[in-house]
Chain A
């Protein structure tokens, strides 16, 4: 029997208009991708409050993927640009505190890019396997 390999848990905060639909497309076209992601549908990446990402990370997720529309393609005009700013703020905070900001991925994936969604999840799982489990899991005192 093979040794138990670390399987990262990824929380996906996916925009209804693009990445979430891309995940559906990946499904309907029977594109294979790792099952490590737990998709959560949001109406727009602009509504992804940093607390959602932090809750996931501090709750023990090994990675968080924010799936957003490509620049200039936001259904609500500018939600993805605002998401990019909020993500930059969050990453700056994590970075300054010496926490791992590279566990948070912001990805531009359109509704037509089912294959890109599958590839991105696969790549993220790969990278997180290299990084290892989220160290926060070893702490009960957070």
Chain B
């Protein structure tokens, strides 16, 4: 059951009001530490920080439109070896939360003692674009928030964000609701778990009028519709660009086998990737053999095999955060390809990554009567 409360915005200053909220979480002992994005002193990037001293909560700004790392990776790093012994509030976006839910199912992270604080997401810029926007002295976050209030969507936002149909966090204990809310006056704080309700209680927030919640729900539905339309447009083009071996090889032509896309992917969690294994430490005869068979081979080898294998291993859990594309030095549209293949593949199992901890991972489970068209009819 969701409880919605209203948080009045003081002096029209949204960031300061939220800062006050983060401070209260720490001061009232509702969390022992907070994992929250803060602006770096230079102002040209915003990174996750783990804050345990409220005095050091200097420039928190989870609304900043930039996401250098998918936070799910950070939570996994913190909780994989042992679950957190203290209560940690984690502030994250929808795609980060969805990736985290997948990692928990993959036993790569633990939610024990973790309070999930999700924020409505209006999209993000690439780190490079954010840096450039911040460098001319103006604050990208203020301009961004202003544009959002006016209902404009910047076409230079990351493409994956423009086509993200999950702008609101799923499975959060607490959601910071901004979509459809006049956040110069107030914002909506929603609790969807007993943990979250206890926090709402401790913050002494008043219940929100039903009308605000309805207004928000309508705005969300409209935004999702827009994004879905955009998604279908973009992916239709992607389908044309990659379909068939000729097009696919043209798309992968700039790939330099750096494997950055794998390294930043929140779902590529394997400690030892197959592609780093001794399988690929081959005798020179192997290469020469392949070369003799075809006359010539691309070096380094196995470019297409790498992408297809990575896809077959994690595409059912791909949340479409687009970190892969951000990390690609040569703008191979990996994120769009993974979203397209992801949609088609997840559909088979009616699976939405990050939707629920209860949905079993498609390749770890089965039904006795299903996929009857897959085995050959002999």
A residues apposed to B, CB below 8 Å: 50-51, 54-55, 58, 60, 68, 71-72, 78, 81-82, 84-93, 95-99, 105-108, 116, 119-120, 123, 135-137, 139-142
- Interface of chain A, main secondary structure: helix
Interface centre among B245, B295, B313 (most CB of A within 10 A): B245
Chain A residues near B303 (CB-CB < 8 A): 142
Q: With A78-B366, A106-B376, A141-B298 in contact, is A51–B248 under 8 Å at CB?
A: no
A98 touches B244 (CB 8 A): yes
Look across to chain B and name the residue whose beta carbon is closest to the beta carbon of A51: B309
Number of A-B contacts (CB under 8 A): 118
A87 touches B341 (CB 8 A): no
* CA distance in complex: A86, B348 (Å): 12
* CA distance in complex: A75, B137 (Å): 67
Instruction: Tell whether B357 is near chain A: CB-to-CB under 8 Å.
Output: no
A139 touches B245 (CB 8 A): yes
- Interface of chain B, main secondary structure: helix
* CA distance in complex: A51, B310 (Å): 9
B residues apposed to A, CB below 8 Å: 239, 242-245, 247-249, 253, 274, 293-298, 302-305, 308-309, 311-313, 315-316, 337, 340-341, 344-345, 348-349, 362-368, 370-371, 374-376, 378
Q: For residue A54, give the distance in angstroms from its CB to the closest CB of chain B.
A: 5
* CA distance in complex: A90, B366 (Å): 16
Q: For residue B205, give the distance in angstroms from its CB to the closest CB of chain A.
A: 45
Cross-chain pairs A/B with CB under 8 angstroms, 5 sampled: A96-B341, A98-B248, A106-B375, A140-B297, A142-B302
* CA distance in complex: A81, B372 (Å): 11
Chain B residues near A85 (CB-CB < 8 A): 349, 362-363, 365-366, 371
